[in-house]
Chains A and B, each alone.
Chain A
Amino acid sequence: MEGNPKIICFTCSWAFPEWEIEAPPNTGVIQVKCIGRLDPIVILESFAKRVDGIIVIGCSPPDCHFIEGNLYAERTINLLKKVITLAGLEPERLHLELVSPIENKSFLNLVERFVERIKSLGPLFKGKEVDEEILFNIQAAKQAVTWSRLRILSGRERKLTEKANAYGEKISQEEIDRLIEEVMGEEYIRSKIYLLTKEKPMSVEEISKRIGVDSPLVLQHIVALRRRGLLAMDRIEGYTPLYRALEVD
């Protein structure tokens, strides 16, 4: 990237009026109905399209046109920040900005400030081999947020912390954050195992070396994945079983 980083800006149609939306160079602006509509998969897939930073602009509470879409978007972005950190990206590459539609803020300034921050971070995709690694990590992160475990947890986050669960218990924000991080760590590793064995059948040892996780732990995750019906033993070479990911629709 000579000079300008590649930036994608998602914004809802209400945060800024049409005449305000003016993008700095190298920034693509995509107006969506509601930023609550943004699926974590979409954001990670956008990163996989080799952009350096993503800024999401919506309305600050309580101005959401769809009542609470912005609050859900906030949770999604927090989750994504954690997951991209796991994938080795700086969390600053994803930024959520909530502005009131009646505030006197400049869209251009907002995005330009973000561009400056990304400039100081440098490009996300630097060279061939490093890129492969980052892309693989992003794909793994994407797989992790596609599976239901994290999605259910993050979708329930607001209810669990603001209201109560089915037993009338309220969970503190710290507790749920810890829970999400724990689940995310597991799911991220499982995603990597799943993606690797999708390419070719692999042994525990090979996987362990490839992703830098101890082999007993890898085996634990393999067991979990097999239980979910995502992984199966392909064949045994010598005394080493090889595992292969199953195509699940």
Chain B
Amino acid sequence: MERLEETVRKFPPCRAACPAHVNVQAYVCLIQMGKFKEAVEVIRRDLPFPAICGRVCFSPCEDACSRINIDQAVAIRSLKRLVADIEREQGRVRAEPIPKRYSEKIAIIGAGPAGLAAAYELAKLGYPVTVFERMPEPGGMMRYCIPDYRLERFVVRNEIEYIKDLGVEIKTGVEFGKDVTIDSLRRDGYKAIFIAVGAQASAKMNIPGEDLEGVIHAVDFLRALSLGKQIDVGERVAVIGGGNTAIDAARTAKRLGAKEVMILYRRSRQEMPAHPWEVEIAEKDGVKFYFLVSPKRIIGENGRVKAVECIRMRLSEPDESGRRRPIPIPFTEHQYEVDLVIPAIGQVVETWTLPPEIVSKDGLIEVNPLTMETNIPGVFAGGDVVSGPASIIEAVGAGKRAALSIHCYLRGEPLKRENLEEVTWVKNWSSLSKKERRYESPVEKPRLSFEEVRAYLERVQRAARFEALRCLGCGPCAECLMGIDLCVKDKAVVDENRCIGCGLCVEICPYNAITKNENGVAQVSEELCKGCGTCAARCPKEAITMENISNERILAAVMNAIAEVT
């Protein structure tokens, strides 16, 4: 495990930005062609949750999109959601179980995004995988803590069903540290263990009155509702905190019938960790925001919450890290009368359930950042339990990396990793200005609410294609590798003995991928060539041929077509 073999490959910015490195350009390209089924297949190569991420991903791909320089990013997430939804509505073909190539059993603790992604990758490699989950249903935060108006339960179930179809065993109702331990798993013959239990506990505010009746932490609140419990939210609800969980809790409380829901946040709007579009939607839902206020204590009456006392804050000058700390302004205490207080100031790892030797000082699991192995050999960890609360896609990325590392560990091979740091795209856009004029975004804003996007995209598949066509295709061939008859990854190859150095190809190539070398012979750049074949069709000496699609292959297709029509 010491040696690391890295291969450097060039990727378009969207793919490089995605923590799970989903091949965005390829599936967007397939949507352009109207091949929606193939698009889902391409997404599934890297990500087992196309429908989930199509709904709730924070889409770093869109932030990296080159199209931003022209108008707006391609609505990648909405496209992903659309193709996944179409597949589900048309009825997904049941996936075949993957034959087991290896005998080493692997145990995964926690059926959240990280655990399931690792299970998915390992099952694809051919390992027998068992996932242990303490809740009655798998899915982790996706199932229990994202409210179902954002992520419908049947969507989560459907995606997990797919992973199960591949032969992954999921045991629910099994608690780590109680029903199973590292030692018991080892005794049962598990050769590697991946801990992905997430950050399930709520961070405490440590202010007086936190244990009053009517104070419920956001994740507990959301989880209780998901388990079908009734919670009386009363008329006025205060949510404390400025993260995405706070927004989810506030919107949920509003939907449960609270007349007034307020979010109290100690910094200002710019500092909110929640995504701005989420904040916008919450405002549309009627959630009120109070900035620069911090709760000092919760006042109770007969053991029940009556009000929350806050103090005004101001922001300090930026410190060395550039962050502006909130500083209380004395004598500005004021009270908000509320029936329910929902603190949402973050989640922490339930460190007491974990073996103490792998827990770090920060209350997280410490791992080798490269191999994701803990200091117990054969025990790996990833996801929120290592990084602290993050996102689904980051957890998937961690699960994927861990799966690869576990595979290399079990096989005793050096860790082979593709270095995706290096980003490239075709820069010499002769067509950029043309495309700019051509495709203006059909959506007003790149990020619409889910309802709007759904209404927009589902009305017509044409619209999806239109949106996908906005993609500049700024990487090299996207390698969808879908085996489409005459559109495969291709490359122009020069026969040096035939080349007469006329330079025609140099003039023709739309990507400036061909240059002449010192002998005057044409030379094709691997990075820039997209394999369109325009040069091969014009080379006067048949010196340029395409690696995969030769003239003979096109002619064979013609012969087939003729044979079919007569």
Contact B469 A42 (CB under 8 A): no
Q: Does B93 touch A at the CB level, under 8 Å?
A: no
Contact of A37 among B431, B466, B536 (CB under 8 A): B536
Contact of B504 among A42, A61, A152 (CB under 8 A): A152
CA distance A91 to B461 in the complex (A): 37
Q: Does B416 touch A at the CB level, under 8 Å?
A: no
When distances are taken between beta carbons in the complex, the residues of chain A under 8 Å from B508 are: 72, 155
Residues A49-86 near B (CB distance < 8 A): 49-51, 61-69, 72, 76
Most chain B beta-carbon neighbours within 10 Å: one of A39, A46, A51: A39
Contact B485 A31 (CB under 8 A): yes
Name the residue on A nearest B557 (C-beta): A30
Contact B551 A13 (CB under 8 A): no
Contact of B532 among A17, A37, A76, A151 (CB under 8 A): A37
Contact of A159 among B466, B500, B507, B551 (CB under 8 A): B507
CA distance A49 to B564 in the complex (A): 13
Q: Does B539 touch A at the CB level, under 8 Å?
A: yes
Contact B532 A66 (CB under 8 A): yes
* Total number of A residues with any Cβ neighbor in B under 8 Å: 55
When distances are taken between beta carbons in the complex, the residues of chain B under 8 Å from A46 are: 555, 558
CA distance A27 to B540 in the complex (A): 31
Contact B537 A66 (CB under 8 A): no
Task: Kindly specify which of A18-26, A181-189, A210-218, A233-241 makes contact with the partner chain.
Answer: A18-26
When distances are taken between beta carbons in the complex, the residues of chain A under 8 Å from B510 are: 66-69
Contact of A33 among B486, B511, B559, B564 (CB under 8 A): B486
Q: Does B275 touch A at the CB level, under 8 Å?
A: no
Q: Does B435 touch A at the CB level, under 8 Å?
A: yes
Q: Does A45 touch B at the CB level, under 8 Å?
A: yes
Q: Does B473 touch A at the CB level, under 8 Å?
A: yes
Q: Does A172 touch B at the CB level, under 8 Å?
A: no
Q: Does B316 touch A at the CB level, under 8 Å?
A: no
When distances are taken between beta carbons in the complex, the residues of chain B under 8 Å from A41 are: 551
CA distance A28 to B563 in the complex (A): 9
Contact of A8 among B430, B484, B487, B558 (CB under 8 A): B558
Q: Given A19-B34, A31-B487, verify A67-B431 contact (CB < 8 Å).
A: yes
CA distance A37 to B500 in the complex (A): 21
Q: Does A148 touch B at the CB level, under 8 Å?
A: yes
Chain B, 482-499, contact with A by CB distance < 8 Å: what is the 0/1 string? 001111001000000000
* Total number of B residues with any Cβ neighbor in A under 8 Å: 55
Contact B532 A27 (CB under 8 A): no
Contact B534 A30 (CB under 8 A): no
Q: Does A125 touch B at the CB level, under 8 Å?
A: no
Contact A67 B511 (CB under 8 A): yes
CA distance A201 to B541 in the complex (A): 26
When distances are taken between beta carbons in the complex, the residues of chain B under 8 Å from A152 are: 502, 504, 540
Contact A62 B561 (CB under 8 A): no
CA distance A72 to B509 in the complex (A): 10
Name the residue on B nearest A153 (C-beta): B540
When distances are taken between beta carbons in the complex, the residues of chain A under 8 Å from B551 are: 39, 41-42
Q: Given A25-B565, A65-B32, A67-B430, verify A32-B487 contact (CB < 8 Å).
A: yes
Q: Does B204 touch A at the CB level, under 8 Å?
A: no
Task: Looking at the assembled complex, report how far the CB atom of A209 sits from the nearest CB atom of chain B, in whole angstroms.
Answer: 32
Q: Given A37-B536, A151-B540, verify A32-B554 contact (CB < 8 Å).
A: yes
CA distance A46 to B462 in the complex (A): 33
Task: Looking at the assembled complex, report how far the CB atom of A94 sits from the nearest CB atom of chain B, in whole angstroms.
Answer: 14
When distances are taken between beta carbons in the complex, the residues of chain A under 8 Å from B473 are: 65
When distances are taken between beta carbons in the complex, the residues of chain B under 8 Å from A156 are: 504, 507
Contact of B537 among A6, A36, A63 (CB under 8 A): A36
Contact of A29 among B469, B537, B554, B561 (CB under 8 A): B561
When distances are taken between beta carbons in the complex, the residues of chain B under 8 Å from A232 are: none
Q: Does B533 touch A at the CB level, under 8 Å?
A: yes
Q: Does A136 touch B at the CB level, under 8 Å?
A: no
Q: Does B531 touch A at the CB level, under 8 Å?
A: yes
Contact of A72 among B430, B437, B484, B538 (CB under 8 A): B538
Name the residue on A nearest B542 (C-beta): A146
Q: Does B325 touch A at the CB level, under 8 Å?
A: no
Name the residue on B nearest A24 (C-beta): B565
When distances are taken between beta carbons in the complex, the residues of chain A under 8 Å from B207 are: none
Contact of B558 among A30, A62, A148, A155 (CB under 8 A): A30
When distances are taken between beta carbons in the complex, the residues of chain A under 8 Å from B542 are: 146
Contact of B469 among A6, A101, A146 (CB under 8 A): A101
Q: Does A34 touch B at the CB level, under 8 Å?
A: yes
Q: Does B417 touch A at the CB level, under 8 Å?
A: no
Q: Does B3 touch A at the CB level, under 8 Å?
A: no
Contact A13 B487 (CB under 8 A): yes
Contact of A27 among B439, B541, B565 (CB under 8 A): B565
CA distance A32 to B490 in the complex (A): 12
Contact B532 A6 (CB under 8 A): no
CA distance A239 to B223 in the complex (A): 105
Contact A155 B532 (CB under 8 A): no
CA distance A209 to B562 in the complex (A): 35
Contact A42 B558 (CB under 8 A): yes
Contact B504 A28 (CB under 8 A): no
When distances are taken between beta carbons in the complex, the residues of chain A under 8 Å from B531 are: 33
Task: Looking at the assembled complex, report how far the CB atom of A57 sits from the nearest CB atom of chain B, in whole angstroms.
Answer: 14
Q: Does A154 touch B at the CB level, under 8 Å?
A: yes
Residues A74-111 near B (CB distance < 8 A): 76, 101-102
Q: Does B549 touch A at the CB level, under 8 Å?
A: yes
Q: Does B465 touch A at the CB level, under 8 Å?
A: yes
When distances are taken between beta carbons in the complex, the residues of chain B under 8 Å from A135 are: none
Q: Does B459 touch A at the CB level, under 8 Å?
A: no
CA distance A8 to B561 in the complex (A): 8
Contact B561 A30 (CB under 8 A): yes
Name the residue on A nearest B548 (C-beta): A33
Pairs A–B under 8 Å by Cβ, sample size 19: A13-B484, A13-B487, A17-B462, A18-B34, A19-B34, A26-B565, A28-B561, A30-B485, A30-B561, A32-B486, A33-B533, A36-B534, A38-B554, A50-B562, A66-B510, A68-B534, A148-B540, A152-B504, A155-B504
- Chain B residues within CB distance 8 Å of chain A: 32-35, 430-431, 434-435, 437-439, 461-462, 465-466, 469, 473, 484-487, 490, 500, 502, 504, 507-508, 510-511, 530-534, 536-542, 546, 549, 551, 554-555, 557-562, 564-566
Apart from the given pairs A30-B561, A37-B536, A154-B538, 5 other A-B contacts in the complex at a CB distance below 8 Å = A41-B551, A42-B554, A68-B510, A148-B502, A151-B538
In the A-B complex, list the 9 residue pairs whose CB atoms are closest, starting with the nearest: A28-B561, A17-B34, A148-B540, A62-B434, A37-B533, A67-B510, A66-B532, A36-B534, A151-B540
- Chain A residues within CB distance 8 Å of chain B: 6-8, 13-14, 16-20, 25-34, 36-42, 45-46, 49-51, 61-69, 72, 76, 101-102, 146-149, 151-152, 154-156, 159
